[in-house]
Structure 1
């Protein structure tokens, strides 16, 4: 069936999110590999995505590991340099859908403060018809509860939704709810899928 709403993940769908690339450029690949082996930075970030305070959570981790203090603090102090650049074609697709009156939602693992900060750099983050941000919801993908909340809040069920995400585990969790899904591997593939389901024409999906 033709979906009634489109849901975008944000990291690596609308904005590139590559902390390793940032650290490689700033401290070198060897030191980055050593830090990532010593410090569970992704677990730290998961706390932020669950709604824990952005600065306090990262600074606490930095203070607990003084040998990596300066580097860990960069996760907060230079965070926007990790969340760049914008994937322009994906943003065009979002705008094209909304121009046609198709509701577009976000569903993202993102902290409260970090999302608000990102939106000051990327105004399109304020343009979704509905925001489903894990920090506010206190649950992250791929926990089934986050998908249940999306359905309960939006009133949409199963195949009425089409969802794109770059992580297979998040896609599989949405599949379990009967959502139409697309594993994001680049904006052109997502554009083609939106054409295939009848939401955009070929010209609109450019």
Structure 2
């Protein structure tokens, strides 16, 4: 079936998301590993993605963990440095699909306030036909409920949705709902998948 809409994850699909790389540059790998073993920064970020306040959640954890307080606050104060750079070929694919009249959605684990901030830094985040942001939805991938909520809102049958994400657990959850899927490992493979789906020509996909 030719997809009726294409659904993009954002982190590591349209924008590189690599907090470890940022902390390695600041602290060195050994010290970063010590930090991440001592403090559940990704768990903190999951709470933000599920709707918790951005700055307040991070600063509260910093206050509770004085030995790492400065480094924890970096998650807020230097957030945009962790969510960079743009993945230009993927952005071009998003725009090529929209130019062909293909509805393009985002389905992303993203905090309410961090997404609002990211939109001020990345113009393409305002270009989706629909943006499904976990912080507003109160549930994060790979919970099956978030995929069900997308289906209910857009009114498109699961099998007519083509979804790309860089995490296998999210892809597995979408597959279980009956979605068409592509495990993102780079924009070249995603471009090839969109051509195979009959949505873009090779030229339009930059191949």
User: What residue in structure 2 maps to residue 4 of structure 1?
Assistant: 4
1:24-103 paired onto structure 2 within 5 Å: 24-103=24-103
User: What residue in structure 1 maps to residue 136 of structure 2?
Assistant: 136
User: What residue in structure 2 maps to residue 126 of structure 1?
Assistant: 126
How many angstroms does 1:134 deviate by?
A: 0.0
How many angstroms does 1:186 deviate by?
A: 0.3
- In 2, Cα distance between equivalents of 1:15 and 1:156: 26
How many angstroms does 1:157 deviate by?
A: 1.4
Across the aligned residues of Structure 1 and Structure 2, the Cα RMSD in angstroms comes to 0.4
Deviation string 1:146-197 (CA, Å, 9 cap, x unpaired) is: 0000000000112110000000000000001110000000000000000000
- In 2, Cα distance between equivalents of 1:190 and 1:166: 11
1:165 aligns with 2:174: no
- With normalisation by structure 1, the TM-score equals 0.99
How many angstroms does 1:30 deviate by?
A: 1.2
How many angstroms does 1:28 deviate by?
A: 1.1
- In 1, Cα distance between equivalents of 2:149 and 2:60: 31
Deviation string 1:99-143 (CA, Å, 9 cap, x unpaired) is: 000000000000000001011110100110001000000000000
| Structure 1, unaligned runs of 5 or more | none
Aligned length: 206
- In 1, Cα distance between equivalents of 2:152 and 2:24: 42
Deviation string 1:5-32 (CA, Å, 9 cap, x unpaired) is: 0000000000000000000001111110
| Structure 2, unaligned runs of 5 or more | none
Where has structure 1 moved over 6 Å in runs of 4 or more? none
- In 2, Cα distance between equivalents of 1:176 and 1:41: 29
Deviation string 1:22-77 (CA, Å, 9 cap, x unpaired) is: 00001111110000000000110001001110000000000000000000000000
- With normalisation by structure 2, the TM-score equals 0.99
1:156 aligns with 2:151: no
User: What residue in structure 2 maps to residue 20 of structure 1?
Assistant: 20
